[in-house]
Amino acid sequence: MATNDRNAGHVADWRREVYKALPTGDKYELVLKDAKHSAFGDHDRYGANPHHHQTILTQSTAFWDAYLRGDAGARALLQGAGAKASLKPGDVWQTK
């Protein structure tokens, strides 16, 4: 989720309710402080932040490696301190 993602002028904090409502087990949430919705694509015409793109790339690649390839190392990264290593102050990574 991006903290500067707006929908019809409303902040996107309500989107975090989905993660809270999910049952425990292999669930992850990434929140990037000051990111916009466009940060999740390769083309951010509104001022790309290289940190956001790299963090999304790292976390999403680890997720797909863990769950599509069965890579235990990638799963350990997601569930351990490794996933938080690239975060900046204000970013959030949660698992449940």
Backbone angles phi, psi at 41, to 5 degrees: -115, 170
Query: Which tokens is 34 given?
Result: 């000051």
Please, which contacts does 58-65 make with residues 24 or more away whose CB atoms are closer than 8 Å?
A: 58/86, 59/28, 59/30, 59/83, 59/93, 63/28
Query: Tell me: the pLDDT tens digits for 50-60?
Result: 888 889 889 99
CA dist 4 and 64 (Å) reads 26
What's the pLDDT tens digit per position in 25-82?
Answer: 999 999 888 887 777 776 655 566 788 888 988 999 999 999 999 999 999 999 998 8
Per-domain residue ranges for the chain? 6-95
Element (H, E) at 47: none
